[in-house]
Each structure stands twice: as C-alpha cells, then as structure tokens.
C-alpha cells in the first residue's frame, strides 16, 4: 500500500514493514530476536521456529523491495538470556544470503538490556534520534518540531468489533508528524493505543492491509 509521509512516497507492507523507495531503505520495528529462547530459559515452554519464520518473512520483503538498507527501529534483541547459539546460527545463515545489505539498529530499551549485537553480525548501532532527512528514526515515539519521526516500541494494534466477536490486529499509526510501526517479531504482543487527532490507522490482516475510517 502506497502513501505519502512528509512529502515522501513510502510503501506499507503487510509483513509489518515500511519501505522508502527513494533511498531503498526498509524499516522494521521491534524484532525481539531471542524472545522465545529467553522465555524458555525462564522455564516457560513456548513453541520453536518463530525466529526462522521472521527471517524468512524479512527475506521475502528484501526480495520484493530490492532494499539496500535495513533499518531496525529498536528492540532488535529481546534479552541477554535469549542470545543463544541457535539464534547466532540463524542470524548468520540469514545474513549470508544478504551480504550487500546495510543493517542499522537504532538502539531501543530492550537493546540496552540485551547488549549490542556481536560485531561480526554486520549491524551498525546508533542512538536515537537518527536523522535520515526528512525522516527521524526513533525507537520511542516522539512528535518532532521539524521533520517526520518513524518510531516503534508500542507494538500498536487495533480492536475490530464484529456482531458476535472481536479481533485484535497489528496496525500502522500514521500521524501528521510521526508514524508508529507495528512490531515485526511474530512473538510480540499488541497494545491498543488511543488514536490522536489526525492519526490514520492501517490494520494488518494476514497478507492484506486495510485503511480504517477516520
């Protein structure tokens, strides 16, 4: 789905990512790599395979958009306990299939606790706010005085009520001065956040996107 943010044409993708064609940059937020492993380390039995599925989804996006740069809007890693050997192997296998890709991480609150990725993972780590004019890449949502912020952190979702039941879906929140991306990681929750004046919501329903009435 194409839209315009601060005069720039961008694409929203149902894989929960935003693509900026002018610079061939793909933005994702809140991957939370290693979260399932961290839960298992704490004695909580959760299914395996989510990390591989997330990397596969990311590869599909990179192939479709032909992005040259991946910019992660914080919370790349979930916790120190999730930095297990299996994650290292999975990441390196994925990275080997995209050797020319530039990967930049805007450090988030979970990254502060988990620590930066290994140096040989090929990830440039920067602090927020990170300027990519006219965009400002952040983890925590901000409303900048100038430019337009692309943010994560909140894992935004929307509740759609039907006749007999309701569904909770991830969504993009597109405001007049900032956008909040849905969490990319498959093992993440949703937060139903109030819509601010001027916000446009785009819900993710499987492989489709739906712009909700304002």
Which residue segments constitute the domains of the chain, with CATH numbers given? 2-211 (3.60.21)
Local mean pLDDT, 10-residue blocks, the chain (214 residues): 94 97 97 66 54 90 96 86 79 93 94 88 95 96 94 93 73 96 86 88 93 86
Round to the nearest angstrom and report the end-to-end CA distance of the chain. 17
Report the predicted TM-score, pTM, of the whole model to 2 decimal places. Answer: 0.91
Q: Choose among 107, 13, 93, 113: nearest CA to 51.
A: 93
CA distance 83 to 79: 7
CA distance 196 to 176: 10
For residue 38, the model assigns a pLDDT of 52
For residue 85, the model assigns a pLDDT of 83
Angle at alpha carbon of residue 199, lines to 128 and 103, rounded to 5°? 30
Percent of the chain topping pLDDT 90: 62
For residue 36, the model assigns a pLDDT of 56
Residue by residue, DSSP assigns 146-184 as: SSEEEE-SS-EEEEEE-SS-EEEEEEEEE-SSEEEPPB-
Residue 171 φ/ψ, nearest 5 degrees: -150, 160
Q: In this predicted model, what pLDDT tens digit does every residue of 65-85 receive, in sequence order?
A: 999 999 999 999 877 666 778
């Amino acid at each position: 789905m194409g839209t315009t943010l601060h005069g720039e044409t961008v694409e929203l993708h149902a894989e929960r990512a935003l693509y900026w064609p002018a610079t061939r940059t793909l933005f994702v937020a809140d991957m939370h790599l290693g979260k399932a492993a961290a839960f298992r380390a704490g004695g909580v039995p959760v299914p395996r395979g989510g990390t591989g599925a997330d990397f596969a989804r990311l590869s599909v996006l990179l192939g479709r958009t032909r992005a040259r740069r991946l910019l992660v809007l914080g919370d790349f890693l979930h916790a120190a306990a999730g930095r297990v050997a299996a994650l290292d192997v999975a990441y390196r296998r994925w990275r080997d299939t995209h050797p020319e890709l530039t990967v930049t991480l805007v450090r988030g609150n979970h990254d502060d606790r988990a620590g930066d990725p290994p140096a040989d993972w090929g990830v440039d780590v920067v602090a927020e706010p990170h300027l990519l004019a006219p965009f400002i890449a952040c983890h925590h949502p901000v409303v900048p005085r100038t430019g337009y912020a692309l943010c994560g952190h909140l894992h935004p979702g929307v509740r759609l009520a039907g006749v007999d039941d309701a569904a909770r879906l991830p969504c993009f929140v597109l405001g007049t001065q900032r956008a909040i991306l849905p969490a990319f990681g498959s093992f993440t929750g949703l937060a139903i956040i109030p819509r601010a004046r001027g916000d446009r919501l785009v819900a993710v329903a499987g492989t489709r996107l739906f712009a909700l009435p304002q």
